[in-house]
Structure 1
Amino acid sequence: MRRPGRRLTAEEAEIWAQVARTVTPLEKRRPVPVAPVSVPKPVVAVTAAPAKKVKGRIPAPLPPRPAPVKAKPDVPVNLDGSWEKRISKGTLAPDFSLDLHGSNLDQAYLRLMHGLIQAKAMGARVVLIVTGKPRPVDAADRGTARGAIRAKITDWLAASEHAHDIVAIRGAHRRHGGQGAIYVVLKKRK
């Protein structure tokens, strides 16, 4: 269906005819003849209207809105107060422990995935994952690969097939490894 609008000028029609001659159709169709249109070129000086000036102060454009984050409806974002209290006091006892400390990234990822499968099969609710301490902040120590597992683990958990079973991820208490470990709280099995 042809859209209503202006007609092609003679120059545009000639350019279109040149382009149309270079195109090879996908299926065999009879060629559509394109006749050059001879339209005299009008000599008209076009001047743009000056932009209106706005009086007063013009506010800066609004920043773009961030895309809304869709939370999973069946996964609570926060643990209740009793969980948080048990974590902060160190009285939370992990049902399953997984030590990734000392592994390279590939080994750590595989051990994490297999460990979570095993923990879920055992009906574990709280999994303690020992990752090693995070990267040092001292500029002299930046060249080391220390803390690589800790830097990747939350991304691995979020992108894994276990993500829908994870209720919360919290830093471990000092008695369970402190900054070098995390608690992963899994959904209650029915």
Structure 2
Amino acid sequence: MAGRRLSAEERTLWARLAQSVRPYRTDASISTPEVASAPPPKMATHSLTHSPVLPLHPQPARRPAAVLDDRWEKQIKRGALAPEMAIDLHGHSLSAAHVRLNQALASARGQDVRILLVVTGKPRANRENGGSGQRGAIRAEINHWLDTSPHADAIASVRSAHPRHGGDGALYIILRRKK
């Protein structure tokens, strides 16, 4: 839409928006589009001018570790971990599973749980080997869900479960200790 002129209504809306915004810095290099020289419209009492300002350089998110210390690694390998809480997601739709996962993480954090067992179902079968391609949808999405979760900073590690806890069809989510 380059080169298109704003309508009178769009110019009025732009002027209203421009008045509600507070710049991060006042450089001469920052410019705003020219707006018709009409008196500024009255603003509603709930303007955006009092919204909190986010830091320019947010802290990097803490990522789950691929490998934990030797004690954890030995326990995972031997199947000696005892999950304190478990949730079974297989059989649910993707949206329902996503909601249940976030609820389980919130509950686990609230109860100071360190090891959450998440049953997802077996990973997607390879189509060339006769797999239907319908299996493993939750397993395919769960890492993305965990990365974008509001609880992502509390996750120390995500590991495949030992066969006694579901093997490839389940994950251990190891949560960080509360500070």
2:122 equivalent to 1:133: yes
Unmatched 5+ stretches in structure 1: 1-24, 29-69
Tell me what 2:69 maps to.
80
Tell me what 1:66 maps to.
none
Residue 101 of structure 1, CA deviation: 1.2
| Distance of 1:26 and 1:80 partners within structure 2 | 60
User: Match for 1:176 among 141, 156, 165?
Assistant: 165
2:174 equivalent to 1:185: yes
Contact 1:77/1:167 (<8 A) preserved = no
Unmatched 5+ stretches in structure 2: 1-33, 38-58
Which amino acid is 1:88 matched to?
K
Residue 95 of structure 1, CA deviation: 1.0
Which amino acid is 2:104 matched to?
G
Between 1 and 2, higher relative CO (CA 8 Å, sep ≥ 6) is seen in 2
- Distance change (3 Å), C-alpha of 1:73 and 1:122: closer
Contact 2:87/2:117 (<8 A) preserved = yes
Tell me what 2:13 maps to.
none
Residue 138 of structure 1, CA deviation: 3.9
Contact 2:63/2:156 (<8 A) preserved = no
Q: What TM-score does the superposition give when structure 1 sets the normalisation length?
A: 0.60
Contact 2:90/2:121 (<8 A) preserved = yes
Q: Equivalent pairs: percent with the same residue? A: 42
Which amino acid is 1:90 matched to?
G
User: Match for 1:118 among 89, 107, 110?
Assistant: 107
User: Match for 1:146 among 135, 139, 142?
Assistant: 135
How many pairs were matched up?
125
| Distance of 1:100 and 1:134 partners within structure 2 | 13
| Distance of 1:27 and 1:110 partners within structure 2 | 47
Residue 123 of structure 1, CA deviation: 0.7
Superposed CA deviations along residues 136-167 of structure 1, whole A, max 9, x for unmatched, are 11426454421000000000000010100000
| Distance of 2:81 and 2:169 partners within structure 1 | 17
Instruction: List aligned pairs for 1:76-115, cutoff 5 A.
Output: 78-115=67-104
Residue 89 of structure 1, CA deviation: 0.4
| Distance of 1:74 and 1:154 partners within structure 2 | 12
Residue 72 of structure 1, CA deviation: 4.5
Which amino acid is 1:115 matched to?
A
Measured on the aligned residues, the alpha-carbon RMSD in Å equals 2.3
Q: What TM-score does the superposition give when structure 2 sets the normalisation length?
A: 0.63
Contact 2:159/2:173 (<8 A) preserved = yes
